[in-house]
């Protein structure tokens, strides 16, 4: 902390106090991320522009499909979600099926609500 110079008066210009070292490089404008790519257990990549794929994929509900597409879930992740949905008779079954694959429980409960339009949480069943 001894290297930091504090202003000697409240009117001193702070921009003169904090300086970038002469040899530090300033990165060019960072490239914007268009979309993360997600497997069931989390982010595995990023895209800087849209990519279109005409592979037939399972559909859950308009809002769930929009959510899953916007968050960049892969075909493999969507198939895991579809399998969990098709073999589950409750929110708890669904959540446990995809949580064991790595999806956070809170996200799985939210996804169940989007797919089923059911806003009841797992322990109220």
Residue 99 host element (H or E): helix 91-99
What are the tens digits of pLDDT across the range 28-41?
Answer: 677 899 999 999 99
Mean pLDDT (the chain, rounded): 82
Cα–Cα dist 29/9, whole Å:
35
**DSSP label at residue 124:** G
Q: What is the pTM of this model?
A: 0.70
Q: 10 Å Cβ neighbour count for 88? A: 17
| 119 touches 98 (CB < 8 A) | no
The answer to whether residue 1 scores a pLDDT higher than 50 is no
* Burial (Cβ within 10 Å: 0-12, 13-18, ≥19) of residue 72: buried
């Amino acid at each position: 902390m001894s290297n930091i110079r504090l202003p000697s008066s409240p009117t001193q210009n702070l921009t003169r106090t904090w300086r970038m070292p002469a040899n530090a490089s300033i990165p060019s404008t960072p490239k914007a991320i268009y979309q993360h790519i997600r497997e069931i257990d989390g982010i595995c990549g990023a895209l800087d522009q849209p990519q279109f794929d005409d592979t037939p994929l399972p559909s859950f509900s308009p809002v769930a499909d929009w959510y899953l597409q916007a968050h960049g879930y892969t075909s493999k992740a969507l198939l895991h979600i579809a399998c969990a949905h098709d073999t589950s008779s409750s929110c708890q079954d669904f959540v446990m099926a995809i949580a064991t694959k790595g999806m956070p429980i809170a996200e799985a409960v939210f996804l169940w609500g989007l797919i089923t339009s059911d806003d009841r949480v797992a322990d109220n069943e």
